[in-house]
Amino acid sequence: NTSHTVVIIGGGAAGIATAASMLKRRPGLDIAIVEPSDTHSYQPGWTMVGAGVFEPEVTQRPMASVMPKGVNWIKAAAASFQPEDNQVTLEDGSRLRYDLLIVAPGIRLAWEKIEGLEKTLGKNGVTSNYRYDLAPYTWELVQNLKSGRAIFTQPPMPIKCAGAPQKSMYLSCDHWLRSGVLDDIEVEFRNAGGVLFGVQDYVPALMEYVEKYHIGLQLGSNLVAVDGPAGVATFASEDGEVNHEFDMLHVVPPQVAPQFLADSPLAATSGFTDVDQHTLQHVRYPNVFGLGDAGSMPNAKTAAAARKQAPVVAVNALRALDGKGPTAGYDGYGSCPLTVERGKIVLAEFGYGGKLTPSFPTWLIDGTKPTRLSWMLKADILPWIYWNGMLKGREWLAGPGNMIAQ
């Protein structure tokens, strides 16, 4: 059995940023990160890959290259938690002991919940920007479609980056409009939820684009099955199930807490890590913290949120190691740059309760309106800040104030 002062589960946006932030505050701290993947993904970039703006390669780096110096990378998956014994069991059966545990394994994409989907993903016009290998197929389909019906789906909440289902749709429509084929394409947005976007202040700007692109907006319509070869998708609504033919189908899968977390004593009833939404400390185990998409907090699950949470966890976790109570607080900040057309973004930034938390004064960027400056942020500045600020614990670049969205 191995033992480390700090064990972090997950080397994604949240896990790496937290390790880097803790090491900046306490150099030499003994941290182990449990992470099975060889590569680390900048998932916010996949929307841009699906629209032909980014090459896929710029959104991935070797995991080894983002591991902060001095961290012990344990290349394995965690399988269960024994918080009473301050212990994590890995998939190979080995055990890891800790003084302090940070839980950040992300959210699980539950493709299998949609009947017939897995076997047709990546062919028959069925795609998703939620997977690195499929985002380029989205762009291929968009370029090839000249007429017919394109359906974009959104599953029930919670999902990571709740704006991503419509981002892909607007960018596709923009391409069809510019290439003169939009009039021959019927576009539908089928959203299991009851609103276009959860924070009302951004809805009017989005509705203008729904109208501009002649998008058929269907709320309360949930994708339940796909027959790829037949080009038919089945949606459930209050009125029962209906089949719709499609030429292109962009699917966002239902999303759930990782099973090993949901099955553990650390889980809330939702399955996510049961933490206080401000201090991010576990509500039952004070030497456990949780952040990122796997946390139970009711914020928008985004990398931007993880960027703000990481220093809060770093500060409070170091205090817990010293036997002290938490002092840092997270306000629920999350951000969603809604790519409404190539070159313009509606920059949604908000905290708990849908309170707007803009990073910029309105004269510079009014987040409720489409602006070119926010597109420049997303396309040119934010990826750089992610790799060189957030993942390096350089908070003067990446926060911790309301400086910049992700």
Q: Using CA atoms, how far apart are residues 17 and 11, in angstroms rounded to an integer?
A: 9
Instruction: Give the shortest CB-111-to-ligand FAD separation in angstroms.
Output: 13
173 is catalytic: no
Query: Site for ligand FAD (CB under 6 A): which residue of 4, 190, 250, 301?
Result: 301
One of 336, 338, 348, 379 is an active-site residue; which one?
336
Nearer to ligand FAD, 142 or 294 (CB): 294
* Tokens 């962009």, located at residue: 250
Rg (CA), the chain: 21
Residue recorded with tokens 């400056």: 373
Q: Which stretch binds ligand FAD (CB under 6 A): 19-27, 103-111, 221-229, 352-360?
A: 103-111
Give the residue, chosen from 7, 10, 100, 310, that forms a contact with ligand FAD under the rule CB under 6 A.
10
Q: Which is nearer to ligand FAD, 158 or 231 (CB)?
A: 158
Residue placing its CB nearer to ligand FAD in the complex, 133 or 184? 133
Among residues 259, 366, 10, 299, the alpha carbon closest in space to that of 158 is found at: 299
- The interface region with ligand FAD, picked from 159-167, 239-247, 321-329, 350-358 by CB under 6 A, is 159-167
Residue type, 209: Y
What is d(CA 154, CA 84) in angstroms, rounded to the nearest whole number? 39
Which of 124, 134, 149, 160 is in the footprint of ligand FAD by CB under 6 A?
160
Regarding 349 and contact with ligand FAD (CB under 6 A), the answer is: no
Q: How far apart are CA 263 and CA 268, in angstroms?
A: 10
Q: Which position among 103, 161, 266, 385 is part of the footprint of ligand FAD (CB under 6 A)? A: 161
Q: Which is nearer to ligand FAD, 112 or 245 (CB)?
A: 112
Instruction: Tell me which residue of 100, 85, 93, 94 sits closest to 9, measured CA to CA.
Output: 100
Return the H-helix or E-strand segment holding 303.
helix 303-321
- Between residue 323 and residue 342, which ones bind ligand FAD under the rule CB under 6 A? 335, 337
336 catalytic, yes or no? yes
Catalytic site residue from 102, 117, 161, 320: 161
| Residue closest to ligand FAD when measured from CB atoms | 12
How far apart are the C-alpha atoms of 168 and 135, rounded to whole Å? 10
Q: Which of 358, 365, 368, 339 is nearest to 405 (CA)?
A: 358
129 is an interface residue for ligand FAD by CB under 6 A: yes
What is the per-residue binding string for ligand FAD in 260-299, x denoting contact by CB under 6 A? x-------------------------------xxx-----
Strand 31-34 vs strand 2-9: parallel, antiparallel, or unpaired?
A: parallel
DSSP string, 207-254: HHHHHHTTEEEEES-EEEEEETTTTEEEEEETTEEEEEE-SEEE----
Among 4, 23, 32, 44, binds ligand FAD (CB under 6 A): 44
What is the H or E stretch that residue 127 is in? strand 126-127
- Site of tokens 């003994």: 30
Answer for the pair 52, 143: CB distance below 8 angstroms, yes or no: yes
196 burial type by CB count under 10 A (0-12 exposed, 13-18 middle, 19+ buried): buried
- Residue from the set 54, 81, 98, 130 that interacts with ligand FAD by CB under 6 A: 130
Q: Which amino acid does the sequence have at 130? A: Y
In the shown chain, the binding pattern of residues 50 to 79 toward ligand FAD, with x for contact by CB under 6 A and - for none, equals ---------------------------xx-
Q: Residue 36 or 329: which CB sits closer to ligand FAD? A: 36
Q: Give how far the C-alpha of residue 186 lies from the chain's centroid of Cα atoms, to the nearest Å.
A: 28
Quick one: which segment of 34-42, 147-155, 173-181, 234-242 binds ligand FAD (CB under 6 A)? 34-42
Q: Measured from the CB of residue 166, what is the shortest distance to ligand FAD in angstroms?
A: 11
Residues carrying an active site annotation: 161, 336
Binding site for ligand FAD (CB under 6 A): 9-15, 34-37, 43-44, 46-47, 77-78, 104-106, 129-130, 160-161, 164, 258, 260, 292-294, 301-304, 306, 335, 337, 406
